[in-house]
A = this chain, B = another copy of it.
Amino acid sequence: MPTQLPNERPLREPGAMELDPSGEGVAIDETRRLIASSKVEGTPVFDRAGEQLGTVYNFMVDKVSGQVAYVVMSFGGFLGIGESYHPLPWRALTYDTRLGGYVVDIDKDRLADAPRYGADEDPFMDDEYVAKVDAYYKTVPTA
């Protein structure tokens, strides 16, 4: 298991071919750079030590700007709670092309205290909740 991941990796090696479908087991509706919104569910999310924390449940996209604002990560079990959902601000994530997933600079212990919600909740309707998410991840040291 890798002990530390660089914060960013180049998306393409210099001089690499533009298309390399065999390189990473690229799936339908997914190129190295683009992924269909219908395919984001299940993308793994890792901590900075390379340990998987959960998987992407969905992206919350700004309808006007087209920018992903939050990634909702789902997981269940290892913290002793049922299936639950952690909204992660987009800027707290880095896509790692080698891992084929997102890296977030938070470990399991801190995640246990982070804002989460249950399957029957819709917290993005609540501005106060969203502000709490933003505030929580502002305190995460960057790299």
Which residue numbers of A lie inside 8 Å of B, CB to CB? 11, 18-19, 21, 26, 28-29, 31, 33-38, 40-41, 58-64, 66-70, 72, 90, 95, 122, 124-127
Contacts and interface: CB of A to CB of B under 8 A. Distances in A.
Contacts of A59: 36-37, 61, 66
Contacts of A64: 11, 33, 95
Contact of A34 (B18, B36, B63): B63
Number of identical monomers bound together in the oligomeric complex: 2
A92 to B, nearest CB: 11
Contacts of A38: 37-38, 41, 58
Contacts of A127: 18-19
